């Protein structure tokens, strides 16, 4: 947490003013930044569409393909969300710069949960084919690690893009620290993404265009409101 403490600009731990400022920026920043949010969302959906064409279905291979094609544009969208909630401003140019500079780093950040999900799907397939009860042990472990990894990733991406000094183990420990302290904030991100995907599957795929930007904003707001609440970092007016 040293890097986060070094970036602290709030007045004191538990300062609700920083949290309130972040939430106001997240809500009020949608309309003035709608063009860049739409561009970012379209890029994410385009990556998802290409990934679906290359590796349809939900398989270990499709998870890896999605990681390569969806995470870079989503990370650029997270960078836009960070700009909105932390500094109150974001531009298309900043989105493009983040896509070029941070896309590959975002993929490396996502390696732990992506590998865990791929192993989980592999274990599910082995159990389906063999029916062996012992397979439930690695399946359960993979499911647990995947769940923790996905929640951790919702914190790790905003942190990695806003705090370049946080890398590797330090980054993931910081992300999991925030998740452990305020789990409901990050569960809300996963629930929002899951409900959006379900709605798009049940009704119309065009709803997916409306999903990436809210997920990115909620994820960024979850990270920085949690950091502000813990007195680690808070934005200024």
Give me the tens of pLDDT residue by residue for the chain, a chain 237 residues long. Answer: 555 554 443 334 455 777 888 888 888 989 999 999 999 999 999 999 999 999 988 899 999 999 999 999 999 999 999 999 988 888 999 999 999 999 899 999 999 999 999 999 999 999 988 888 888 898 999 999 999 999 999 999 999 999 988 888 999 999 999 999 999 999 999 999 999 888 888 787 778 888 999 999 999 999 999 988 887 665 555
Write down the pTM of the prediction.
0.88
The owner of tokens 């780093």 is 105
Q: Cα–Cα distance between 209 and 46 in angstroms, integer?
A: 10
Distances (CA, A) of 62 to 38, 56, 177, 178: 25, 7, 30, 29
Residue 106: which of 175, 158, 44 has the closest Cα? 158
The owner of tokens 């569960």 is 187
Q: Cα–Cα distance between 181 and 230 in angstroms, integer?
A: 9
């Amino acid at each position: 947490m040293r890097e986060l403490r070094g970036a602290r600009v709030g007045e004191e731990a538990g300062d609700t003013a920083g949290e309130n400022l972040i939430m106001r920026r997240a809500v009020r920043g949608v309309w003035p930044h709608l063009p860049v949010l739409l561009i970012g969302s379209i890029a994410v959906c385009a990556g998802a569409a290409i990934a679906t064409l290359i590796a349809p279905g939900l398989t270990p291979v499709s998870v890896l393909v999605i990681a390569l094609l969806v995470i870079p544009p989503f990370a650029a969208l997270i960078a836009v969300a960070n700009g909105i909630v932390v500094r109150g401003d974001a531009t298309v140019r900043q989105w493009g710069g983040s896509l070029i500079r941070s896309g590959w780093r975002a993929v490396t950040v996502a390696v732990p949960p992506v590998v865990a999900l791929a192993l989980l799907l592999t274990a599910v397939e082995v159990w389906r084919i063999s029916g062996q009860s012992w397979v439930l042990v690695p399946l359960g472990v993979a499911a647990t690690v995947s769940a923790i990894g996905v929640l951790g990733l919702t914190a790790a991406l905003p942190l990695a893009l806003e705090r370049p000094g946080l890398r590797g183990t330090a980054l993931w420990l910081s992300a999991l620290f925030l998740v452990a302290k305020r789990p409901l904030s990050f569960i809300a991100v996963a629930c929002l993404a899951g409900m959006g995907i379900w709605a798009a599957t049940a009704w119309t795929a065009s709803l997916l265009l409306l999903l990436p930007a809210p997920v990115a904003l909620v994820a960024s707001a979850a990270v920085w409101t949690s950091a502000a609440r813990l007195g680690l970092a808070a934005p200024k007016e």
